[in-house]
């Protein structure tokens, strides 16, 4: 009798486990149909660029030398391959993209095609590649628009709303990781609104759907087959952490690239910074909010509208402004020439301004000017003084400091994180407005200390950076 009861209990337990497993399985989404339909609109992006051979090998060794037992082996070959006067060679790379119209428009990342001499596209199941024309690109959001011409009937994907996407929602990524074309991965949205320091308009969707090199430019899809993000970045040292440009931002950029071949963004002509609790208290704000106006550039839209240094922007067109980044993104979302209502906090009360927007100039475009004509400093920088137009676009109230227009690979400056578009305002707490003054500080007191302390302006904010100087320089 006891044995019979034991067998019966065991059977009931197994049945319960089986039913629970079936229910759990039924609750999981099925991706096969979505992968089949969406996959036909995803393409492989093939690029060819001319590079110096020693530059390529530097990248190879920098990637592979990670404290392994083969360090000595790599050191020998690095010295061999990084010899001067190496002949240029063609480098091929792969990325991903997706078709948004039957007449051949394709969305991808800017970094996938940047610097390429040739760009071609491979459709799913096709043996031959199609030459692709770059219609436009936007380095500040890392987006690009291509176009191919073919008699083949193209499958397309449509944009969904990233605003409606929710944390925890299932998503699927399709791309070309490590050259393995049309790989499909699935996961969830881990977070929204991520800022990872890649540019002024960071607002990424974070996902644990596997994203790897080669996935860049591919779509992140919801279960309705809508593109809610463009896969663009990974954390090299982490797993299950990838980032996608939200579709609402991407769609605005792509529409402008399609119609104008460039992106125009609003500009008011101020320098801004985040609020802290003490500043809010000093300005009689009940809570820390808004963007503090540090300076207003004479003759620019904000100045013409009556904005003053010390104002706190708390709303744009009635929408609350959380911080300096939110103000930058909000103003940039409007077109030059539009009149925008801005609410500021001044002298303990709100004041409404109407600002006719100017046009924002990209730092990336300026940073590429005259690079080859400038010698490198001891820490690997190419520098020059910014002109009035550049100062305006960089958020400076007047031309001052030294604009970084180039950073040498593997230099002390690159290791410290300096990049083109940064402006050096001070070196060892002394103002620098000429390359000669900067070099004198480097070779003088900074060399004695073995370190130089720089005050940097980057994307509307200032920060200190210390750099260890190479010995003997």
What does CATH list as the number for 43-147?
A: 2.40.10.10
235 marked as binding residue: yes
385 marked as binding residue: no
Element (H, E) at 107: strand 105-108
pLDDT per residue as tens digits for the range 99-126: 999 999 999 999 999 888 899 999 988 8
pLDDT per residue as tens digits for the range 243-296: 999 999 999 999 999 998 989 999 998 888 888 888 888 888 888 899 988 778
Domain ranges of the chain: 43-147, 170-260, 266-359, 363-468
pLDDT per residue as tens digits for the range 28-74: 788 999 999 999 999 999 998 876 554 444 544 444 444 444 454 44
The set of residues, in sequence order, having a beta carbon less than 8 Å from that of 466 and lying 6+ positions away, is 416, 451, 452, 453, 454
Residues designated as active site: 111, 142, 216
* Span of 196-210, 215-229, 452-466 with lowest mean pLDDT: 452-466
How many CA atoms, within 13 angstroms, populate the side-chain half-sphere of residue 47?
Answer: 23
Domain 170-260, what fold? Answer: Thrombin, subunit H (2.40.10)
234 marked as binding residue: yes
Backbone phi and psi for residue 57, each to the nearest 5 degrees, phi listed first: -70, -35
175 marked as binding residue: no
pLDDT of res. 18: 59
User: 164, 161, 168, 238: which is closest to 207 by C-alpha?
Assistant: 168
Does domain 266-359 sit in CATH 2.30.42.10?
Answer: yes
Are 43-147 and 170-260 the same fold in CATH? yes
Q: Is the CA virtual torsion 330, 336, 341, 345 positive or negative?
A: positive
CATH superfamily of 363-468: PDZ domain (2.30.42.10)
């Amino acid at each position: 009798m006891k044995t019979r009861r034991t067998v019966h209990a065991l059977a009931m337990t197994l049945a319960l486990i089986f039913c629970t497993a079936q229910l759990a399985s039924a609750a999981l989404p099925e991706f096969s149909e979505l992968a089949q339909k969406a996959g036909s609109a995803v393409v492989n992006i093939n690029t060819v660029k001319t590079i110096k051979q020693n530059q390529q090998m530097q990248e190879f060794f920098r990637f592979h030398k990670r404290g392994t037992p083969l360090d000595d082996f790599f050191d020998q070959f690095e010295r061999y391959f990084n010899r001067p006067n190496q002949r240029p060679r063609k480098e091929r790379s792969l990325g991903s993209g997706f078709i948004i119209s039957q007449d051949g428009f394709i969305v991808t990342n800017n970094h996938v095609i940047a610097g390429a001499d040739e760009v071609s596209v491979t459709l799913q199941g096709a043996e031959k590649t199609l030459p692709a024309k770059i219609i436009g690109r936007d380095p500040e959001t890392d987006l690009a628009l291509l176009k191919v011409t073919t008699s083949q009937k193209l499958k397309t994907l449509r944009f969904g709303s990233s605003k409606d996407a929710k944390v925890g929602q299932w998503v699927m990524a399709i791309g070309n990781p490590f050259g393995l074309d049309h790989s499909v991965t699935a996961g969830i949205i881990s977070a929204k609104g991520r800022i990872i320091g890649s540019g002024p308009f960071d607002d990424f969707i974070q996902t644990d759907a596997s994203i790897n090199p080669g996935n860049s430019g591919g779509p992140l899809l919801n279960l309705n087959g809508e593109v809610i993000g463009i896969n663009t970045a990974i954390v090299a040292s982490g797993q299950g952490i990838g980032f996608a440009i939200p579709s609402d931002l991407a769609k605005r950029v792509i529409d402008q690239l399609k119609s104008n071949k460039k992106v125009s963004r609003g500009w008011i002509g101020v320098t801004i910074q985040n609020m802290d609790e003490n500043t809010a208290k000093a300005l009689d704000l009940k809570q820390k909010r808004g963007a503090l106006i540090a300076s207003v550039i004479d003759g620019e839209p904000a100045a013409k509208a009556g904005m003053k240094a010390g104002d706190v922007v708390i709303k744009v067109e009635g929408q609350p402004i959380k911080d300096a980044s939110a103000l930058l993104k909000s103003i940039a979302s409007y077109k030059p020439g539009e009149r925008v209502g801005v609410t500021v906090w001044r002298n303990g009360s709100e004041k409404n301004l109407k600002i006719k927007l100017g046009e924002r100039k990209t730092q990336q475009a300026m940073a590429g000017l005259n690079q080859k004509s400038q010698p490198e400093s001891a820490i690997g920088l190419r520098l020059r003084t910014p002109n009035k137009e550049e100062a305006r676009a960089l958020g400076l109230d007047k031309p001052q400091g030294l604009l970084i227009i180039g950073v040498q690979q593997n230099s002390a400056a690159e290791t410290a994180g300096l990049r083109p578009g940064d402006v050096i305002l001070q070196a060892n707490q002394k103002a620098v407005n000429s390359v000669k003054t900067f070099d004198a500080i480097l070779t003088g007191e900074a060399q004695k200390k073995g370190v130089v302390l720089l005050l940097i302006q980057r994307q509307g904010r200032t920060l200190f950076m210390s750099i260890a100087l190479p010995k003997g320089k």
